[in-house]
Structure 1
Amino acid sequence: MGGLSLPHLIVLALVVLVLFGRGRISEMMGDFGKGIKSFKQGMTDEDNKPVPPPAQIQQQVPPVAQPTPQPTPQPTAQPTSTDQAK
């Protein structure tokens, strides 16, 4: 049940042939083949693309700005108990 037998496939192929015609089907298959060939060529071109060495990658990165050090506050003199007694 639900499977396609050989007679079903032959009838299906004849219907497709009548609807699209022999020329149109061969044209579609040719376009399909060209698309696959172009895809494969694009994949090999991507693999052959040269990769820049790591030294060149570091030169392209902008340097990071170093934060400026904040001055440390100087301790102030606290009045002693002898200064307050006067």
Structure 2
Amino acid sequence: MFGFGLPELVIILAIILVVFGAGKLPEIGGAFGKSIRNFKKASEGREDIDITPKS
């Protein structure tokens, strides 16, 4: 995964924990998951709203 090993991931997680604090991590994770889900949905080309003209 991008050449990151376990020690690098632990260091990155520790830095994120210090910067944002333990209380904000679930909110950040939820927002990150929603953004990835929306990106996947948009890249598939599916539209939630039908904009075809009615004859």
Higher gyration radius (CA): 1
Q: How does the TM-score come out when normalised to structure 2?
A: 0.49
Higher relative contact order (CA 8 A, sep 6+): 2
Q: How does the TM-score come out when normalised to structure 1?
A: 0.37
